[in-house]
């Protein structure tokens, strides 16, 4: 197992940057998810790590070895990195056992050891009874397990997964998530998992790198992303809730700041004393008839066990959970407790612009 380091990594396609100065370090044995909308550069980062593309600038290190950058390029076949493709990329002319044993054949591992290691990998992925099947005779979930077994069998320094659940139905996704978790616990492999589905990323990863337009916006543990988003994009992309601009009141304490939000003065958690926005998760909102902030119900969706309300308060859309149905158009009182306040980098420039034009 090895750590992965990206320093100032940049990749352009036809002059357009797909990755723009990526800096990140992934610890040995860590499970990291790359999360972002399509076109954010997460797959490009994965392909650069695997060695299928060459970076324009910057350096990639695997376990201390420079594999790309600084005049060096190590081709994918000698990087010792496993990859699970979205399409699984099983070789259709080889059986399940043939697919899994190929990495060992390439390494000229003696036959007896090969057979033992293939059997072990198939056991671990629950494919013991399918060894002689051809890929075309397997279901989507089984193919995914073969792809996983093929990559774990040669004990790579890191495992890359490219949207591995995108082609599976919902029920199978949940069970495959368990397989990935188990796989990670058992092998302790460094894993880099690309997805656009935040629930997968939050459920599986030790840390999540949220990407947008070729940059990492925030790289943190899932609960940190949810409770303490770094900017408006992360706050809006990860988890449910609202992002609302806030005005400073000038009062602050260590770790807390009093802000004017939707016309109310509210104490917010914050790591800066000059935030520009607050992230209001549904859990931070309680509905109470005597609350001073009034909001109109604009939609009400049943989620099973509770209702999700979208509320219009002072022209902002808030999201709240309620134990019973609310009528659309009804007015309710809203109390906001303990939201997270942050300073959005874009807001800074907006403010600067406003000042120069004033």
- Choose the stretch contacting other proteins; rule: CB under 8 A; options: 2-10, 82-90, 335-343, 345-353: 82-90
User: By CB under 8 A, what part of segment 160-179 binds other proteins?
Assistant: 160
> What dihedral angle (degrees, nearest 10) is formed by the CA atoms of 161, 164, 166, 167?
150
Asked if 89 touches other proteins (CB under 8 A), the answer is yes
- When the beta carbons of 47 and 269 are compared against other proteins, the nearer one is 47
- Choose the stretch contacting other proteins; rule: CB under 8 A; options: 91-99, 168-176, 182-190, 348-356: 91-99
Beta-strand (E) ranges in 36-120?
57-62, 65-69, 72-73, 81-84
Least separation in angstroms between residue 164's CB and other proteins is: 12
Asked if 154 touches other proteins (CB under 8 A), the answer is yes
H/E element, 16? strand 16-26
Count of residues touching other proteins (by CB under 8 A)? 30
> Closest by alpha carbon to 189, among 84, 77, 102?
84
Q: Per the structure block, which two tokens stand in for 224?
A: 């940190």
- When the beta carbons of 147 and 230 are compared against other proteins, the nearer one is 147
- When the beta carbons of 149 and 259 are compared against other proteins, the nearer one is 149
> Closest by alpha carbon to 256, among 246, 264, 266, 247?
266
Asked if 61 touches other proteins (CB under 8 A), the answer is no
Q: Per the structure block, which two tokens stand in for 275?
A: 């935030």
CA 297 to each of CA 142, 290, 292, 307: distance values in angstroms, whole numbers, following the listed order: 46, 16, 16, 12
Least separation in angstroms between residue 326's CB and other proteins is: 45
Asked if 52 touches other proteins (CB under 8 A), the answer is yes
Binding string, residues 98-137; x marks residues near other proteins by CB under 8 A: ----xx--xx------------------------------
Spell out the SS3 assignment of 17-57: EEEEEEEEEECCCCEEEEECCCCCCHHHHHHHHHCCCCCCE
- When the beta carbons of 18 and 62 are compared against other proteins, the nearer one is 62
- When the beta carbons of 94 and 215 are compared against other proteins, the nearer one is 94
Q: Per the structure block, which two tokens stand in for 357?
A: 């034009």
Q: What are phi and psi of 234, to 5 degrees?
A: -65, -45
- Choose the stretch contacting other proteins; rule: CB under 8 A; options: 48-56, 205-213, 219-227, 228-236: 48-56
Alpha-carbon distance of 178 to 203, in angstroms, equals 10
Least separation in angstroms between residue 89's CB and other proteins is: 4
Asked if 80 touches other proteins (CB under 8 A), the answer is yes
CA 230 to each of CA 88, 134, 201, 237, 306: distance values in angstroms, whole numbers, following the listed order: 34, 47, 17, 11, 29
Interacting residues with other proteins (CB under 8 A) = 50-52, 65, 74-83, 85, 87, 89-93, 102-103, 106-107, 147, 150-151, 154, 160
């Amino acid at each position: 197992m090895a750590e992965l380091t990206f320093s100032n990594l940049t990749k352009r396609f036809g002059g357009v940057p797909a990755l723009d100065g990526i800096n990140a370090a992934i610890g040995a044995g860590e499970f990291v998810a790359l999360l972002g909308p399509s076109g954010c550069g997460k797959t490009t980062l994965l392909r650069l790590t695997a060695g299928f593309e060459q970076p324009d600038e910057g350096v990639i290190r695997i376990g201390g070895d420079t594999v790309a950058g600084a005049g060096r390029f190590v081709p994918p076949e000698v990087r010792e990195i496993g990859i699970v493709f979205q399409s699984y990329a099983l070789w259709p002319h080889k059986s399940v056992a043939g697919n899994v044993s190929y990495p060992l054949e390439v390494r000229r591992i003696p036959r007896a050891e090969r057979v033992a290691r293939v059997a072990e990998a198939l056991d671990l992925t629950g494919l013991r009874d399918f060894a002689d099947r051809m890929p075309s005779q397997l279901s989507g979930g089984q193919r995914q397990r073969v792809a996983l077994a093929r990559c774990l069998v040669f004990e790579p320094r890191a495992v890359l997964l490219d949207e591995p659940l995108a082609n599976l139905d919902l029920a199978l996704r949940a069970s495959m998530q368990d397989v990935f978790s188990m796989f990670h616990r058992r092998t302790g492999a460094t894993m880099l998992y690309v997805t656009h589905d935040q629930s997968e990323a939050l459920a599986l990863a030790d840390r999540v790198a949220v990407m947008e337009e070729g940059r990492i916006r925030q790289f943190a543990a899932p609960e940190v992303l949810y409770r303490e988003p770094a900017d408006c994009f992360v706050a809006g992309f990860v988890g449910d809730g609202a992002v609302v601009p806030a005005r400073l009141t000038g009062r602050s304490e260590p770790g807390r700041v009093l802000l004017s939000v939707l016309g109310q003065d509210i104490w917010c958690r914050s790591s800066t004393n000059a935030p520009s926005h607050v992230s209001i998760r549904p859990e931070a909102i309680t509905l109470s008839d005597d609350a001073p902030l009034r909001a109109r119900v604009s939609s009400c969706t049943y989620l099973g066990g509770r209702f999700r309300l979208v509320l219009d308060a002072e022209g902002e859309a808030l999201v709240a959970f309620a134990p019973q149905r609310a009528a659309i158009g009804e007015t309710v009182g809203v109390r906001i407790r303990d939201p997270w306040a942050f300073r959005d980098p874009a807001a800074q420039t907006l403010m600067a612009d406003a000042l120069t034009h004033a």
